[in-house]
Amino acid sequence: MDVLTLLGQLLNSTLVFSTALIFSALGGIFSEKSGVINIGLEGLMIFGAFAAGVGTYYAQEAGMGNWSPWIGIIAAIIVGVLGSLIHAVAAITFKADQTISGIVINFLAAGLTVYIVKLLFEGSAETPLIHAFQKKAIPLLRDIPVIGEGFFNAYPTTYLALILVALSYFVLFKTPFGLRLRSVGEYPGAADTLGVNVTRMRYIGVLISGALAGIGGATITLTTTSTFAHNTISGQGYIAIAAMIFGKWNPVGALGAAMFFGFSQAIRNYVQLFEWSKSIPQEFIFMIPYVLTIIVLVSAVGRSAAPSALGTSYDPGKR
């Protein structure tokens, strides 16, 4: 196998892991850019994965065929938004500690989804299998060396993720909405005195994060597991938070960070294909993605630039 094919394949494999992270990290960005910490990404992903499993199943039952996964995505968006609404109400309206209310989401999601699945499917803790998304190659682009195999023979969700990265960047940095959202995360007092409705912007930021993390969770159900169970999401939400910080709260940065995690994951798997890897204790191979991340952080990435007002509730009367 020549190096270029290999690279293309590694890249392709990278995207399997990173797509869900991209969505969720983007979600995190919208919330945190508006000044609301979102440690609840994990829970929101659980909600999304759950809704995709259930939604797609019923859509299939209703005979919607190939459209079913898209129904699943829509269900994930709706449920993700509803889940994040809890976070928004607690953190923004009731000025609860943002970290705490994020944790609440994680608890409620873990409990509610499995509970509902059991109610819906006669005690089964797993949703029935669904026909998930299939990879689609994009005709001409597919033939570009490395990139073609890497990016243009992928799931619809991967294309969607890449589009959303561009869209998010555009929305955040080129539109009035983005300017206002960021101002609210940097200095709500300033935004408020200019007539920007801090509460509303923050609600929107958090709800967008619910929608995006919901799609992130759905991606896992719809491209890797084909079913939702209690452990469909196990830690990806936290990795998405890491990707968001690693990417310095920038959509393109987050894309890079998510790809990096995916790539180091792919590397770790790839190593195992070689005979010589058998002489390395397995545990050290498993560590690769995590240790690699720390090494890259130490050597390349400097201080992170969190929005200044991140984690603070806004109270015009506060001095």
Ligand X SMILES: Nc1ncnc2c1ncn2[C@@H]1O[C@H](COP(=O)(O)OP(=O)(O)OP(=O)(O)O)[C@@H](O)[C@H]1O
- Which of 152, 246, 260, 314 touches other proteins (CB under 8 A)? 246
CB of 17 to other proteins, least distance (A): 5
Interface size with other proteins, residues (CB under 8 A) = 115
Question: What is the residue whose two structure tokens read 């589009």?
Answer: 163
The C-alpha angle 185, 189, 192, rounded to 5 degrees, equals 95
Tell me which residues in 27-46 interact with ligand X (CB under 6 A). Answer: 32, 37, 39
Which H helix or E strand runs over 219? helix 198-220
Q: In the complex, what is the shortest distance from the CB of residue 306 to ligand X, in angstroms, rounded to a whole number?
A: 4
Interface pick for ligand X out of 124, 175, 193, 304 (rule CB under 6 A) = 304
Contacts (CB under 8 A) with other proteins, residues 117-176: 118-119, 123-126, 129, 132, 134-135, 137, 153, 174-176
**Under a CB-based contact definition with an 8 Å cutoff, are residues 67 and 46 in contact?**
no
Residues 264-283 contacting other proteins, CB under 8 A: 265-266, 269-270, 272-273, 281-283
Q: What are phi and psi for residue 136, nearest 5 degrees?
A: -130, 125
On the 0-12 / 13-18 / 19+ scale of CB atoms within 10 A, 271 is: middle
Given ligand X, other proteins, none, residue 137, with its beta carbon under 5 to 8 Å by kind, binds other proteins
List the interface residues with ligand X, window 222-241 (CB under 6 A).
241
Q: CB under 8 Å to 182, separation ≥6 — which residues?
A: 33, 34, 172, 307
Give the Cβ contact number of residue 4 at 10 Å: 11
Residue 306 lies near ligand X (rule: CB under 6 A): yes
Residues that bind ligand X (CB under 6 A): 32, 37, 39, 241, 245, 303-304, 306, 311, 317, 319
